A and B are shown apart, each in its own frame.
Chain A
Amino acid sequence: MKDIAIVSFAQSDCVRQAGTANEVELIMPVVNKALAEAGLESSQQVDFVCSGSCDYQQGAAFAFVLGVDALGAVPPIKESHVEMDAAWALYESILKIRMDQADSALIYGFGKSSPGELPIVLSQQLDPYYLAPQWVDTVSLAAMQARMMLDAGDITEQDMADVVSRSRRNAAANNPYAQLKGDVSVDDLLAEDTWVSPLRKHDCCPISDGASAMVICTVEKAKEWGKPYAVISGIDHRIETHNLGARDLTRSVSTEQAAAAAGVADGDVEVAEIYTPYSHQEIILKKALGLGDNTEINPSGGVLAGNLMMASGLSRIGEVARRIINGEIKRGVAHCTSGPCLQHNLVTVLEAA
């Protein structure tokens, strides 16, 4: 199968409130930056464009339609959209390249969660007849998962605080786009009150507005463009049952399956960017991905430092790709999740050329 190269990646600041910025104003800066880094002037110069977003975040049917205005789609372009994180838009684009309908693609994701109450909005992802009418919010479901892990002895509250402390520190050191960063000790974190027990507020990702974008192409095209690149050596995604009672919430079976199919274990993993909206989930996912202690996890701070719903998954891949393109590492793994308590997971393995 054809090797796919990531040649550029751009992300916006994660901000709690993008104010009056509309879709176009969120998307255009990152799209233009990703194109420019790939040496391109407009989306007319790629063969395919695919995006990810969710209407309910900003409360507008067809929120993605306006996104087309950010692309310069005159004359018309080959374009598609997933109502998912843009990591799945990347997946769709890869299929398009593998089937020879494109040699290059622009992918972007955006989210403006600030107009609504995100945890409540996301409660409407649940079974519409049995669960959604109870308005069980995402934080409460994650808290239940954390409680099960604590009760099983899989983690301690100190482990959770460790994850948060490291995220804040990494974000301060490495991530100018982060929303939450700084030097916070584990003791200080544990001294805070619980919010939705056992979760403290800092155990939960912030709510952010923003966007990210990426340009991919065949390896041949990247050479033709004369751009450094990272190679996607494996990508796979799996979903598991929606019925929380039928899942062992202390594991992530779908991540294990995707990791095996993507070939995570086929080499050293220097860096892993894992989509962990809640601190305890990093511990579940580290295990599911089979990562050891020599893997640096979430050097960007991860989504605990800023969570652009529908773009953060793509950003995890972009963060790893950026480090490979810069020559900092040779091989890394990126992970993206969707749905309550890690129901749907996508794993990407990236390598230096």
Chain B
Amino acid sequence: MANLAAVVGIGQTKYQTKRGDVSIAGLLREAAVNALQDADLTWNDIDAVIIGKAPDMFEGVVMPEIYLTDALGCNGKPMLRVHTAGSVGGSTALVAASHVQSGTFKRVLTVTFEKQSESNAMWALSNPQPFSPHLNAGAGGYFAPIMREYIRRSKAPWDTGIKVAVKDRLHGARNPLAHLQLPEITMKEVEESPMLWDPIRFLESCPSSDGACAMVIADESLVNESPNKPAWIRGGAMRSEPTMYAGREEVNPQAGRDCAADVYKQAGITNPRKDLDCAEVYVPFSWYEPMWLENLGFAEEGKGWELTMAGATSLDEDGDIPWNCSGGVLSSNAIGASGMIRFAEAARQVRGTADAHQVDGAKTALGHAYGGGAQFYAMWVVSSEKG
């Protein structure tokens, strides 16, 4: 049996377009110090450090753990660097948790980041490769046809994506750390924003952010050494499938369904809409909310948009299953950190420390991340109850 572990400290930076006031190391240290303070711990209390980020080309630093060891108090300790594309923030949290759940360490620090302002993500994603056609696409262009296929199949109303864009920005306006602060946003404003990759308009896409997110994960025996409520890790799962194969279901990928089934089984969840109090799900483009509602079993196939349109995922409309109360990826996207922000925000909800975006009485929450061509998945379920 795996040892029981919990999140005992969470630290984030403010997310914004450019953090010119700090170096990459300074950015990570800020999040890490915030997490240590939340856990009432010092650097000496940490046994190992696990970091994650998206491709090194996003900043132009090769294997940055080598440079970051000093800033993260890691000298003389083990340090591991995870990279699983966009899902990396989630995968890193799971790998960090495994350091404790395996009984190998008692308490670890995990940090993920992206400092997008130091390079150009679009360039990094589309540099020409030998023997491959050159796609000047980036992520939006890649996912747009898949979203169009979802719309065709589900016959979802054309403005479902617009509704998600507004809802997540209103959530983000409750979260002072969120990059985009758009408390006055309207459906009309989103509709009139430029079309980037049909069906995705400018305001239906995530921003490009600098930021870092950190967590302290402790073994059951040390949880009481930190003053704030723990978020118990009740399940964690990863799944991968190839980018392309004959017959691949790209709208509702098998890897996502399998990963959700695995994590629900571990956490004893049979009806996610009912058994979970809220979810932080990786939605970088508006239409991915209804798609993931189906993929993650919150709605039947083809019906995800009905939850969105009925306000079921909205805190402001008093929905029964609020999604992305922090504002989600649509409000802040420090790519390598985005998955961990989902995991950490799920933990904040069950710890009762989510301030103005708190779901009243939240006990159990899902954190979700995906990456690559919607082929890499990482998920966890956290709870205020040990189980």
Chain A residues packing against B (C-beta within 8 Å): 1, 20, 22, 49, 54-56, 59-62, 64-66, 68-69, 71, 73-84, 88, 91-92, 94-96, 98-101, 115, 121-122, 124-129, 132, 236-243, 253-254, 257, 338-340, 343-344
Contact = CB atoms under 8 A, between A and B. Distances in A.
A239 B118 CA distance: 26
B243 interface: yes
B196 interface: no
Interface string B52-89: 00011111111111111110001111111111110000
Interface residues of B, number: 66
A81 B66 contact: no
Given A76-B255, A80-B84, A65 B372 contact: yes
A96 B124 CA distance: 31
Nearest to B244: A69
Minimum-distance CB pairs A-B, first 6: A98-B102, A76-B255, A61-B55, A79-B240, A83-B83, A99-B102
B372 A62 contact: yes
A267 to B, nearest CB: 22
Contacts of B79: 237, 239, 344
Given A68-B241, A100-B1, 5 more contacts: A56-B56, A83-B63, A125-B63, A128-B23, A343-B69
Given A100-B2, A236-B78, A65 B85 contact: yes
A98 to B, nearest CB: 4
A132 B84 CA distance: 25
- Among B23, B91, B98, B131, max chain A CB count under 10 A is at B98
Contact of B80 (A76, A79, A84, A132): A84
Contacts of A257: 76
10 contacts: A22-B131, A54-B56, A78-B237, A81-B82, A83-B83, A84-B65, A95-B104, A99-B98, A128-B64, A339-B63
Contact of B61 (A92, A94, A128): A128
B62 A84 contact: no
B67 A127 contact: yes
Contact of B241 (A73, A83, A121): A73
- Among B70, B75, B258, max chain A CB count under 10 A is at B75
B95 interface: yes
A239 B83 contact: no
A81 B83 contact: yes
Nearest to A258: B78
Given A240-B75, A240-B76, A241-B75, A84 B63 contact: yes
B69 A240 contact: yes
Given A61-B127, A62-B55, A132-B61, A76 B240 contact: yes
A280 to B, nearest CB: 21
Interface string B9-34: 00000000000000110000000000
Nearest to A247: B75
A54 B63 contact: yes
B238 interface: yes
Nearest to B68: A242
B44 interface: no
Contacts of A84: 63, 65, 80-81
Interface in B110-138: 118, 124-125, 127, 129-131
A49 B241 CA distance: 12
